[in-house]
Structure 1
Amino acid sequence: MFNIFLIIHIVTGFVCLISGVIAMLSKKKKGKHTIAGEIYHWSYFLVFITAVVMSIIHWQESAYLFYIAIFSYALALLGFLAAKIRWKKWFGSHIGGMLGSYIGIVTATIVVNVPKIPLLNELPLLLFWLLPTIIGTPLIFRVGNKYKPKKIIKHPLT
């Protein structure tokens, strides 16, 4: 049973990584971006569900997975709902949620796979836990500033 969830987890994680890149690189309008975003969100949802189930099955070894799954999917859900509902100043929540959740899935992928890669497995694992956040967080602010609405300065007529 665990192996079935693991296979689903790996496949949907891969779909999530690819659709996330497509959404990030496509023009921010209806079409490619929104379709990739929908695929990203729903594949992330399946990653979340499978992570929770697997962490419960092997609680002693992977309780941490339960908490990481909740936190990471919460960011993806925030970004998804911000775009769907469009509350006041929704765009910052959308960017922060989607890119924050992408940092989460990249971190998980790296941390799971680095111990299997020669040379990289000689570096401290903590480095790979922190590196995606160290690189990704400034990028979130950069993207947020890029798409921030421009302030209109009103000059009084003289």
Structure 2
Amino acid sequence: MNLFEVILSIHIGLGMICLLSGMVSMLAAKKKGRHTRWGEVYHGAYAALAATAIMLSIWKWSEIAYLFYIAVFSYGLAIYGYLARKQKWKSWLQHHIRGMLGSYIGAVTALLVNIGDSIPLLNMLPSLFYWFLPTVIGSPLIYIVGRRYRKKPSVSKKISY
């Protein structure tokens, strides 16, 4: 096994960790504990996943340059969502939701672009669909989740007459 294959194996393992930990975090109650622990696993694995994706794409640029762009953009979303929570930005929850779910869409997109043609039923779609299907499905979900967790204006902030 050469070094590229070793890094690729690590990358695939990290991708599996991201997809699983992201799903567990998404499904967990949104409070300290399970959600935050699995979210930390997701973020750490995603950082390493992006690093391996960048290495692999540079190594075989003419074949998989697209992986570089997916990695940079998707990890940008992950760090955006992560920092929004850690630094408690104004409206941090909305930023956190958009960033973390957006990065998950990026991970699913990368997965489909690479192995979508070997997944039954999906392999019946044109390969261009692998690039857009996660976003088409995921974007409305980001909106729905964002609305669900949007803070309601407090009584004191309402306009009085």
> TM-score higher than 0.5 here?
yes
Q: 1:61 aligns with which of 60, 63, 70?
A: 63
Q: Which position in structure 1 is the counterpart of 2:97?
A: 95
**Counterpart of 1:150 in 2: which secondary structure?**
coil
State the distance in 2 between where 1:17 and 1:106 align.
8
**Counterpart of 2:37 in 1: which secondary structure?**
helix
Residue identity in the other structure for 2:97: I
**Counterpart of 2:32 in 1: which secondary structure?**
coil
State the distance in 2 between where 1:80 and 1:7 align.
26
Q: Which position in structure 2 is the counterpart of 1:122?
A: 124
State the distance in 1 between where 2:114 and 2:88 align.
35
- Structure 1 residue 156: Cα displacement: 5.4
Q: Deviations over 1:88-121 (max 9, x none)?
A: 1111110000000000001111221122235532
Q: 1:156 to 1:72 in 2, by over 3 A?
A: closer
- Normalising by structure 1, we get a TM-score of 0.93
State the distance in 2 between where 1:96 and 1:156 align.
32
Structure 2 counterparts to residues 39-50 of structure 1, below 5 A: 39-50=41-52
Runs (5+) with no aligned partner, structure 2 = none
Residue identity in the other structure for 1:102: Y
Aligned residues: 157
Q: Which position in structure 2 is the counterpart of 1:73?
A: 75
Residue identity in the other structure for 2:70: I
State the distance in 2 between where 1:120 and 1:91 align.
33
Runs (5+) with no aligned partner, structure 1 = none
State the distance in 2 between where 1:36 and 1:26 align.
9
Q: 1:119 to 1:137 in 2, by over 3 A?
A: closer
Over aligned residues, Cα RMSD in angstroms? 1.5
- Structure 1 residue 10: Cα displacement: 0.4
Q: Does 2:114 align with 1:85?
A: no
| Runs of 4 or more above 4 Å deviation | 153-157
Q: Percent identical across equivalent pairs?
A: 54
- Of 47-56 and 84-93, more deviation after overlay is shown by 84-93
